[in-house]
Amino acid sequence: MGFLIKRNHHDPKISHYQREDFMIGEIYPIMITGLPEVEIPFKGIKGWLLQGIDKQVVFFDIEPDASIPEHSHGEQWGVIVDGEAELVVNGVKQVCRKGDTYYIPAGAVHSVTFRTRLKTIDFFAEPNRYKPKSKT
């Protein structure tokens, strides 16, 4: 099999992956959506877990108007794959857009509101920040 190219979604002629059999919708490739889905208590938020020995990576797909209230945990680094969110860290508000990265220090109180559908990849310094959904 060849490689996969994501065309610029501003091109009206091509707004999908060349090989749709690699994809479920246009969330992430099947190699990611085939990972365990994470248990998340908030409506409109899905994530797929890549578990390391002492760290985690979660690939999130978040619906517009979803939000996560103030909370804190260990270090977190992320990159916005697509979409826009308003992130508040220790009282400082910033808008994050496609291509932006962010770092949240351990213990920092933060919240987020999702302005559009958002795809983000987050790296957590905690091995148990998220747990896989139970298979029941």
5 burial (CB, 10 Å; 0-12 / 13-18 / 19+) is: exposed
pLDDT value, residue 26 = 63
pLDDT value, residue 136 = 61
Nearest partner of 120 among 27, 5, 25, judged by Cα? 27
Among 17-26, 71-80, 91-100, 113-122, whose mean pLDDT is lowest? 17-26
Average per-residue pLDDT for the chain: 85
Query: Does 107 have pLDDT greater than 50?
Result: yes
pTM above 0.75, yes or no: yes
Domains of the chain plus CATH, in order, are: 27-124 (2.60.120.10)
Query: Does 101 have pLDDT greater than 50?
Result: yes
